[in-house]
Amino acid sequence: MYAANSTGEEATFIDTLSHKMRTLYGKKNCERIIESVKLNLSNREVVIHHVGKGEQRASSYISGLSAIPYHDVHSGAFQWLEDLEANSEKIRDELQAALTNPDTDKLGNSIWVPAARDDAVAYGPNWRTLVLQDRCTWEDTNTRLFPETVQTLQRSSAPSVEVFFARQPPQTGIKPHTDNTNFILTAHLGLCVPEDEAWMQVGEHKKYWKNGEGLVADTSFIHSTANESETEDRYVLIVRFWHPDLTASERCALQFLFDALDDPSDYGMSGAESRAKARLGIYKRKNNKKRSSGGGLGLLSKGMQ
């Protein structure tokens, strides 16, 4: 997140950010987000030991969200992931076509790159990703290589924040770590996996990937992975998405926060505010349309469609 040069600058940034969010979305819809920003900028971390579940750690933390290591994919709360499961063969075929195409590196952008996050040391040098969406923005170049995958996500109204393919080679793993954020959950769709040999442990619970099946994990719990196969890579589609306990307004406020943190200057903040107002206009048009047709509340940005 944003690193201020001084306590005074940090306070000014928080005040400006808070004022703009409250103006855009209303005070009630922003208070949990603002408290989360203050926590993060204070370099503090929430640590909770959940009995029977495991340890949760997050420096980007929103209070009041349910904490469950593994959610039930087929509970009815994740219909979009069930749609991905139903289309998993098409998604797998697109992935395999990209893997066998010698020109994929030239046609795409940053194909199969290592982890670049602060905690990349936990992932090791062998873990690789191919990104389709980052912070609610689709990567135009790579999405053209995977039209069925992207269309399925958009048709199903997946509340995605990040979407990427991930490769884990044989006899490698990811060390225990936390993603440090409790308001974004992580879904995996098994595409080409060595079944019964590749697993993910979240808190005190371990699950094995299965081809064509999804998992939903809260990766603010300490978690780790391993591919114990001696010969097969493990390929999954990863969708990081808004925690379902967030309100629609909070999701929009968080997307505004992402934009503001990318460029916290006055110019950047102004641009983030303009994009937020444009998304609110889209929301109002969609909501009015859904009301007239008897539908429910629509989501607000292309990353959430």
User: What pLDDT, in 10s, does the model give residues 51-92?
Assistant: 999 999 999 999 999 999 999 999 999 999 999 999 999 999
Angle (CA) 43 133 113, round 5°: 80
pTM: 0.87
Q: Please state, in angstroms and rounded to a whole number, the distance separating the CA atoms of residues 289 and 275.
A: 21
Backbone angles phi, psi at 118, to 5 degrees: -60, -30
Q: Tell me the per-residue pLDDT of 250-304, one tens digit each, with 9 for 90 and over.
A: 999 999 999 998 888 889 999 999 999 998 876 555 555 544 444 332 232 333 2
Domains of the chain: 1-44+247-256+273-305 (no CATH), 70-242 (2.60.120.330)
Return the beta strands (E) in 142-251 as ranges.
160-168, 172-177, 180-181, 184-192, 198-202, 205-208, 214-217, 223-227, 234-242
Q: Tell me the per-residue pLDDT of 177-224, one tens digit each, with 9 for 90 and over.
A: 999 999 999 999 999 999 999 999 999 999 999 999 999 999 999 999
Whether residue 5 is predicted with pLDDT greater than 70 in this model: the reply is no
Whether residue 6 is predicted with pLDDT greater than 90 in this model: the reply is no
